[in-house]
Amino acid sequence: MRTASCVLCGRTARLASNSAAVQLDCLECGPFEVTIGVISHLRADAHTKAAVRTEIRRQLDVGVARPHVNLETLQSLKAR
């Protein structure tokens, strides 16, 4: 099992990756998938990171098994 720091909260999370996305299973944030291009945005912008954490939690609460975060997700959250 590979681990990495969660890009949202910094805690240790299980990691699975392919060429386009990283799947994280974080005890704090829950399971989610993030595209490689989004990671630098999340590391650089605390407000975006907080908005993404909230969105992931909302999606998990309505039954999405593994929310997917990509550039379109970030643009949608910034437009709100």
1, pLDDT greater than 80:
no
20-to-24, 32, 54, 69, 72 alpha-carbon distances in Å:
14, 14, 23, 12, 14
Sort 29 into a burial class: Cβ within 10 Å, 0-12 / 13-18 / 19+.
buried
Least confident residue range of 8-12, 17-21, 49-53? 17-21
Report CA dihedral (31, 67, 55, 45) to the nearest 10 degrees: 80
Please give the average per-residue pLDDT across 6-15, as a whole number. Answer: 94
pTM of the model: 0.87
Rounded to the nearest integer, the mean pLDDT of the chain is 94
Q: Identify the band that residue 57 occupies on the pLDDT scale cut at 50, 70 and 90.
A: very high
- Could you tell me which residues are beta bridge partners of residue 2? 15
In the chain, % of residues over pLDDT 90: 90
